[in-house]
């Protein structure tokens, strides 16, 4: 359980932001950040689609609440297809104030531009991950990603601790708190939509998550400029371990790529949309009908990028397994039950590693007798 978590990082932490500043004008990056050829952004077996027409589906969420049953059905259907085919979609008309979204992003940008001494006050450790960090896994000698981050909890309430949130800029705590409240609300609405689309009672997925006692946390990613973006990644390929993720990307700066078969699609963010993606726990609860899809982040040499990833997760100590109604003779349970607490430990030890953990949950094939 929790005491399996390492207490300290295996090596001294280097802030990628400081590194990026210190190598300005140089044409190389430290070896620790250079990915094996097969993982690099432009390697041949990771073809990037240059097709400008391809993007993840964009969904007008107000269609879900339309008085016109045709529009409602059409919208629900679009979401259903996106959850099955892409594991990703963007939502517009989601009800969260655009001003609040901008304030949240700009507050965090300001935080990352505070002097290093200020940020170091919040330096995190692998014990809880809360605070200012620069790596995920704790394996000594691991190849690192080109990013720093800030991680904090909104829910459960007993984990929310303002003292672990930045006190500067002064608006930070208030803005981030309101942002969290609005996004918990939006995720609650999406959980109902997903339940309905799976043919379940509206509250079914939420109940599977532990009802009111869910978890919610924020990871703010900061991707500094990189002189050799073709050699590294801002965030290695991974699927999100939790339930639903709402990503607020930066203005007009591409970065997020979503796996589609053997290629990677670069997401083109719509103004003031949230990028929604299905996490591993929804894949498990839906018995594999909905997919938690691998994604990664590329960096660039001209601009830094800030993104806010908000994670809506199950209560940490209840077993998560496929919902009964979705397990049939024709479609046996694909996954073994596991608590989220235990599941999360894996990614914390290994860092981002594709979908390898979900694979380990797979039930053995049913015996034929
Ligand atoms: C994440 C993530 C994507 C991005 O934080 O899990 O996938 O664009 N972020 O920063
Ligand atoms: Ni992610």
Successive 10-residue mean pLDDT values, the chain, 369 residues = 70 97 94 96 58 85 98 98 97 98 98 97 94 92 96 96 96 97 98 98 97 95 98 96 97 92 93 97 97 96 97 97 96 94 82 74 62
Which ligand approaches the C-alpha of residue 151 most closely?
A: 1
Pocket probe mutation, ligand 1, options 297, 306, 310, 348, max atoms within 8 Å of Cβ: 297
Instruction: State residue 1's pLDDT score.
Output: 41
Instruction: State residue 347's pLDDT score.
Output: 74
Residues with CB under 6 A from ligand 1: 219, 221, 235, 240, 247, 249, 255-256, 295, 297, 307, 309
Task: Tell me if 311 sits within 8 A of 190, measured CB to CB.
Answer: no
Cα 245 to Cα 251: distance, rounded to the nearest angstrom: 19
What string of DSSP letters covers 305-334? Answer: EEEEEEEEE--TTSEE---GGG--SSS---
In a domain, 7, yes or no: no
In angstroms, what is the span from residue 295 Cα to ligand 2's centroid? 6
In angstroms, what is the span from residue 64 Cα to ligand 1's centroid? 26
Angle subtended at Cα 262 by Cα 335 and Cα 222, rounded to the nearest 5 degrees: 80
Cα 7 to Cα 126: distance, rounded to the nearest angstrom: 6
Pocket probe mutation, ligand 1, options 307, 311, 347, max atoms within 8 Å of Cβ: 307
Of 171, 178, 125, nearest to 151 by C-alpha is: 125
Which residue puts its alpha carbon closest to atom 8 of ligand 1? 256
In a domain, 119, yes or no: yes
In a domain, 20, yes or no: no
Q: Is the peptide bond before 311 cis (omega within 30 degrees of 0)?
A: no
Bridge partners of residue 308, in order along the sequence: 220, 248
Instruction: State residue 33's pLDDT score.
Output: 98
In angstroms, what is the span from residue 206 Cα to ligand 2's centroid? 21
| Domain of 162, in residue numbers | 28-359
In angstroms, what is the span from residue 155 Cα to ligand 2's centroid? 19
Tokens of 10: 């295996």
Which ligand approaches the C-alpha of residue 250 most closely?
A: 1
Domain count, the chain: 1
* Number of Cβ atoms within 10 Å of the Cβ of 70: 9
Instruction: State residue 365's pLDDT score.
Output: 57
Tokens of 298: 């590329």
In angstroms, what is the span from residue 215 Cα to ligand 2's centroid? 16
In angstroms, what is the span from residue 274 Cα to ligand 1's centroid? 12
Which residues are CB-contacts of 330 (< 8 A; sequence separation ≥ 6)? none
Instruction: State residue 367's pLDDT score.
Output: 53
Instruction: State residue 366's pLDDT score.
Output: 53
In a domain, 263, yes or no: yes
Which residue puts its alpha carbon closest to atom 9 of ligand 1? 309
In a domain, 76, yes or no: yes
In angstroms, what is the span from residue 257 Cα to ligand 1's centroid? 9
In a domain, 120, yes or no: yes
Is the pTM higher than 0.85? The answer reads yes
Ligand 1: nearest atom to the Cα of 149: 5
In a domain, 87, yes or no: yes
Pocket probe mutation, ligand 1, options 134, 249, 295, 306, max atoms within 8 Å of Cβ: 295
In a domain, 284, yes or no: yes
Check which CATH number belongs to the domain holding 308 and give it: 2.60.120.330
């Amino acid at each position: 359980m929790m005491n399996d978590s390492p207490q300290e990082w295996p090596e001294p932490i280097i802030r990628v932001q400081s590194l990026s500043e210190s190598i300005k004008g140089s044409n190389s990056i430290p070896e620790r950040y250079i990915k094996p050829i097969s993982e690099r952004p432009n390697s041949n077996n990771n073809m990037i689609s240059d097709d400008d027409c391809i993007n993840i589906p964009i969904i007008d969420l107000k269609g879900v609440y339309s008085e016109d049953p045709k529009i409602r059905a059409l919208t629900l259907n679009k979401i259903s297809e996106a959850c099955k085919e892409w594991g990703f979609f963007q939502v517009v008309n989601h009800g969260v104030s655009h001003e609040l979204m901008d304030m949240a992003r700009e507050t965090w940008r300001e935080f990352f531009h505070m002097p290093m001494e200020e940020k170091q006050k919040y330096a995190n450790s692998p014990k809880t991950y809360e605070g200012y960090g620069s790596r995920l896994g704790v394996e000594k000698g691991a190849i690192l990603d080109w990013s720093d981050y800030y991680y904090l909890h909104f829910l459960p309430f007993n984990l929310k601790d303002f003292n672990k949130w930045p006190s500067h800029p002064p608006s930070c705590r208030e803005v981030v708190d309101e942002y969290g409240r609005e996004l918990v609300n939006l995720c609650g609405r999406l959980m109902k939509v997903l339940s309905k689309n799976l043919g379940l009672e509206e509250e079914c997925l939420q109940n599977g998550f532990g009802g009111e006692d869910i978890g919610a946390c924020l990871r703010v990613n900061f991707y500094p400029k990189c002189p050799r973006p073709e050699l590294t990644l801002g965030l290695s390929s991974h699927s999100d371990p939790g339930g639903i993720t709402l990503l607020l990307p930066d203005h007009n700066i591409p970065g997020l790529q979503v796996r589609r078969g053997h290629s990677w699609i670069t997401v083109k963010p719509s103004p003031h949309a949230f990028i929604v993606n299905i996490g591993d726990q929804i894949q498990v609860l839906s018995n594999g009908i909905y997919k938690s899809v691998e994604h990664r982040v590329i960096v660039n040499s001209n601009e830094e990028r800030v993104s806010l990833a908000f994670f809506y997760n199950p209560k940490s100590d209840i077993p998560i397994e496929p919902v009964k109604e979705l397990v049939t003779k024709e479609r046996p349970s694909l996954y073994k039950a596991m608590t989220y607490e235990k599941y999360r430990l894996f990614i914390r030890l290994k860092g981002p590693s594709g979908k390898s953990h979900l694979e380990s949950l797979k039930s053995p094939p049913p015996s034929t007798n």
